[in-house]
Structure 1
Amino acid sequence: MSDQHHDKRSVDIEKDSALRSDSPAHEVPTIASPTVGHSWASFPLAKKLLSWGVEARGTVPVPLEERTETHFSKIFFVWFSMNFNILSFSTGTLGPAAFGLDLTASCLVILFFNMLCCALPAYLSTWGPRTGMRQMIHSRYSFGYYGIIIPAILNLIGLCGFNILNCILGGQALSSVSPNGDMSWSVGIVIIGVISLLISFCGFKVLTWYERVAWFPVLVTFIIALGVGGKHLGNPPAAVPATAVTVLGFASTIAGFVITYSAMASDFSNYFEPDVSRTKIFFYSYLGYLIPIIPLECLGAACAIAAPSVPSWNAGYANGNVGGLLEAILSPLGNFGKFLTVLLSLSVTGNIAATLYSICFNFQVCLPVLARVPRYVFSIVGTAIALPLSIVGAHRFYSALTDFLSLIGYWASAYGAVLLIEHHYFRRGDFSTYNINDWNVPRRLPWGAGLLAGVLAFGLIIPSMNQVWFIGPIGALTGDIGFEIAFPLAAVLYVPLRHLELKYQKIE
């Protein structure tokens, strides 16, 4: 009986779709909505930017004729360069610095939880070519036109938070190599922010080109740093034995670092041809996460453990100054070491630029009326938000990083569960059941069962937290298992809520 009920609900979705299930997902009507509002397109500056190839498209789905990309290396290098930077290195340092884990425990947590959590954003990247939709626009088909606004706000906060952390790290590194510390952290932060803005402003083509080349000098620098400082990493000091609380706390931080990419996954794949191999998109994306993240986080953990036994490293690492630690590691190379530190500081620009690119779409989802404003305007807005907050928070980096990464993993885990249940249980993995022309028609989108499932899930997520600022009764016994609880609980809650929604909502 339950299978028949499920079949009926799945059939209802297909009936309500303007696209028949026997029609390939990429054979969709041309999207009628303009890329940019006519009032904006009439400005001479807007016309000039378009003639230069600056991407103006925001949340409007990419039509079939523009989905022509076939180079899988582009999606690989977007994720690779985004994560091959000093933010990944600094996240690894949290294992020993914030949770007191030894090198073995830190590396095992880094390996296992990255392999687990990177699978979700890599899989969601495969949806972009089939629908041409941005990630948050696709999410409207699970959360609803208005229901997705709350996840979009949370995602916007998360993306801006990542940019703030990256600006702080880049600014610290630039400041550490200035003569006598003449350059303040604030100046370094502004330099990093402006460079990232220029890349993001231009759009997808310039962004993917930059990501394909930005990783190489960073790779060379980290190899040299490992060669120079590797002799100090062989015999780390003894650490306090790991406990469930510390292991799960660090795991929550690792999850917060990668699982939040789920909310921007298809933003970088929706220009690919609709019939490209989904398997290749998945593995190119998955490896784009794992290859840079795991080694750099493990290196960060090793350097943080070794720092107290190396006076110059310990001095550079004072007050959680990761840029100062890297400069101290490279200091035996003299001026060449300072040059390499500058390269490391610039490594965060690839992450900031790509994040700014996705920030644009989240602004437009939060306030749909902004969909007619050119995408690049919001790159400027995102930078204007990040720079002052980076300057204010620069001297509280470690506490900010730990609290931020631990917190954002909760909602992203529930968000991913709702998307997967909607796609595989209710739509049976059939992309033709997504009527692309309904992307901005509220009455033809769900009421918001996905949002309700996520909100209700927090009834058990909150007691399962174990943070500096809050410890729930379950979390006190087990350690932080909030994000582990969020995924299955949101999935279970969404099924009956979505059934009720399909029963009572009449799609016009």
Structure 2
Amino acid sequence: MSDDKEKAELDDAQVNGNEAIERGHDPVTVEKLGLGKVTSKLFTWGVETRGIYPVPLHQRVDRNFHKIFFIWLAMNFNILSFSAGTSGPLVYSLGLRDSCLIILFINLLCCIPPAYMSTWGPKLGLRTMCLSRYSFGFYCISVPCILGLATMTGFMILNCILGGQTLSAVSGGDLSWTYERLSWIPVLIVYLVALGVGGKHLSNPPPSEPATAEHILTFASVLAGFVLTYCPMGCDFTTYMDSRVSQWRIFWYSYLGFIIPVITIQCLGAAFAVSIPVVPSWSAAYVDQSLGDLFVAVLRPTGGFGKFLTVLLSLSVTANIAPTMYSFGLTFQVFIPYCAHLPRFVFAVLATAMKDAYWARRHLISVIPLSIVGAHRYYATLTNFLGLIGYWASNFIAVVLVEHFLFRAHPEWFLPSSTTTTTSSPSLSKHSPTPNSALMNKNSTGDPFAQYLLRDWNTPSLLPSGIPALLSSIISYGLVIPCMDQAWFIGPVAQKTGDIGFEVAFILTVLFYVPLRWVEVDGWTLVYEAIILGALDTDTVLDYRQWQKEQ
């Protein structure tokens, strides 16, 4: 999309709220709630107040593209990635070689979608869930929002479990780019010291039983669920970056930010997990399945310094929780559209207030009590959670990517001739339907981003219905459920193959979404013809049919 065209589209969007687009929230609503002075003061201090309002082109000027590398690096360079790697040997009885090979190839493949979706932020200035309205519609996007909120809450719970376990083992507002850029360094030091102290036990891993297809595929589904669920937040951190940047540049920064920490730390976790049974002090410390106790045992030769390093490791989870809370607030605004009028910091304050209220009144459900419950069965919590979220993430990715690469990039394959805005029939020019984000412009092909009309981002009637996206996802579960392998249910197919639910979910969603979306796109024209042509005289209808043939 050219800069001039995009600017024109944003100007159209600003007709009904220029100041709201510029500030990222509705100043009228903020004043009504008595937050005007507070918001203005925070804005002057550099606190981000923008929620899901599109970022105007002139505000997309950040050229520090390395930021996105460090944010993905920090989010994954922590103890949660380590724990995911340990599940291969500890839960699925896989050897070190098999675990590392699965970790390598699954992550090389599954890190591609979230890295690619990070490239959309600079192009459109839209947050991920807001951008997903162009495939799931204004109302149906609520379902992915609910699942996304549950997923982010689940990840925060897992992080709190690990952070709490690690910390207990020792003792018996604005997203900070600086923190995310540096937070991984102490974690790296911890892992290097752990390797230096315990590396002698990793050189000769014990022999393992041959890997079975069931265990390989089920472990692969857990790893896929770990990274694929970053897709619903992929654009959230890149919307302020310069729109003229090459997509490849953003992609490689993001991709490397994923694969370097995820593959490295998960393989390290698998290596330590394999050696637990042959090192008496490690197996004694791990009797309660606490990774915190394991790290204390590994670092015990360093004395008090080891405890200090374990404290640093426990605090590393904040580098994942902080960006997750950032995306949580944005997703909540898409889920409840009225909240889009409020500045984003309101949701950070609300989350903090909920936590404080729990401690004060002991009756609110929050991340902390759920973390306490999950800590008693951590690996059951981890594997069940990652396996389940991988299913819906596959549905989401399939819909968004098919919409982008097929319907947005090649609308001429699906749109009838009558949907073009340029007509050679003067008598029908006034009756031609105006292309919007549901009924795409056939004449504008080649660049899929040109089909995302930003003026439509918050107008339900100008967005797709979302029914094809929702229906194709739901239908896919007719075969996904028999392919599930969870602690509480093992489907008949999964009994023979292992968990292949996320692969099946992706393939079936693609197969169902294409025809359903095509019917929706062509259906708009059929409705148009039934209403408009039914009110026209016979000669005009014949003229219209002749024009269709010529096109």
When normalised by structure 2's length, the TM-score is: 0.82
Contact kept, 8 Å, 1:359 with 1:379, in 2: the verdict is no
Once the two structures are superposed, residues 227-266 of structure 1 have per-residue CA deviations (whole angstroms, 9 ceiling, x without a partner) of: 1110011122222221011001100000000001011101
Q: Is the 8 A contact 1:25 1:130 kept in 2?
A: no
Change (3 A) 1:456 1:106: same
Counting aligned pairs with the same residue, the percent is 54
1:441 is aligned to 2:459: yes
Q: Does 1:404 align with 2:388?
A: no
The Cα of 1:486 is off from its aligned counterpart by 1.3
2:238 counterpart of 1:304? no
Aligned to 1:461: 480
Q: 1:121 to 1:166 in 2, by over 3 A?
A: same
Deviations 1:348-393 (A, max 9, x none): 1110001111001111111111111221222344463322321232
Unmatched runs of 5 consecutive residues or more in structure 2: 356-365, 410-446, 529-551
Alignment check: 8 A CA contact 1:256 1:408 kept:
yes
Q: Which residue of 1 aligns with 2:25?
A: 36
Q: Secondary structure at the match of 1:81?
A: helix
User: What is the Cα deviation at residue 438 of structure 1?
Assistant: 0.8
Secondary structure in structure 2 of the residue aligned to 1:397: helix
Pair 1:81 & 2:99 matched:
no
What is the distance in 1 between the residues matched to 2:213 and 2:120? Answer: 36
**Pick aligned residue for 1:202 from 174, 180, 199:** 174
Q: How does 1:42-441 map to 2 (within 5 A)?
A: 42-43=34-35, 44-178=37-171, 181=172, 201-203=173-175, 206=176, 208-382=177-351, 384=355, 385-428=366-409, 429-441=447-459
Once the two structures are superposed, residues 107-141 of structure 1 have per-residue CA deviations (whole angstroms, 9 ceiling, x without a partner) of 11100100010000000111110000000000000
Contact 1:359 1:382 in 2 (8 A): no
Q: Is contact 1:130–1:274 with CA below 8 Å preserved after alignment?
A: yes
Deviates more, 1:120-129 or 1:371-380: 371-380
Gap change, CA 1:253 and 1:142, over 3 Å in 2: same
Cα shift at 1:27: 5.7
Q: CA RMSD in A?
A: 1.8
Q: What is the CA distance between 1:456 and its match in structure 2?
A: 1.2
Asked whether 1:495 is paired with 2:514, we answer yes
SS at match of 1:266: coil
Give deviations 1:200-232, integer Å, cap 9, x for gaps: x123xx2x2211111111111111111111001
1:463 partner amino acid:
P
Matched AA of 1:108: L
Secondary structure, in 3 states, of the residue corresponding to 1:258?
Answer: helix
Deviation string, structure 1 residues 395-448 (Cα, Å, up to 9, x no partner) = 221111110001100111111111111111111152111111211100000011
- How much has 1:45 moved relative to structure 2? 2.9
CA distance in 2, matches of 1:363, 1:127: 20
Q: 1:295 Cα shift?
A: 1.0
- The residue aligned with 1:6 is none
CA distance in 2, matches of 1:24, 1:209: 35
| More moved, 88-97 vs 233-242 | 233-242
Query: 2:490 is matched with which residue: 462, 467, 471?
Result: 471
Cα distance in 2 for partners of 1:259, 1:27 equals 34
CA contact (8 A) 2:62 2:241 kept: yes
Higher relative contact order (CA 8 A, sep 6+): 1
The reply on whether 1:485 has 2:466 as its aligned counterpart is: no
**Can you give the 5+ residue segments of structure 1 that lack an aligned partner in the other structure?**
1-19, 182-200
Q: Given the two structures, how large is their TM-score scaled by the length of structure 1?
A: 0.88
* Cα shift at 1:319: 2.2
CA contact (8 A) 2:130 2:334 kept: yes
SS of 1:29's equivalent in the other structure is helix
Residues in 1 aligned to 2:345 and 2:230: alpha-carbon distance in whole angstroms: 21
CA distance in 2, matches of 1:77, 1:22: 28
Cα distance between partner residues in 2 of 1:471 and 1:479? 9
When Rg is computed on C-alpha atoms for both structures, the one with the higher figure is 2
Give me the whole-angstrom Cα distance separating, in 1, the residues matched to 2:398 and 2:123: 20
Instruction: Name the amino acid aligned to 1:390.
Output: S
Q: Could you tell me how far apart the structure 2 residues matched to 1:250 and 1:437 are?
A: 43
Q: Deviations over 1:24-75 (max 9, x none)?
A: 5566424434222334254233333223222111111111111111112100
Q: Which moved more, 1:102-111 or 1:367-376?
A: 367-376
| 3-state SS in 2 of match to 1:268 | coil
Q: Is the 8 A contact 1:84 1:292 kept in 2?
A: yes
Larger mean Cα displacement after TM superposition, 372-381 or 331-340: 372-381
> Larger deviation: 20-29 or 241-250?
20-29
Aligned residues: 465
Cα distance in 1, alignment partners of residues 452 and 274 from structure 2: 50
Distance in 1 (CA, whole Å) between partners of 2:351 and 2:209 is 41
Task: Give the Cα separation in 2 of the matches to 1:314 and 1:381.
Answer: 42
Q: Secondary structure at the match of 1:378?
A: helix
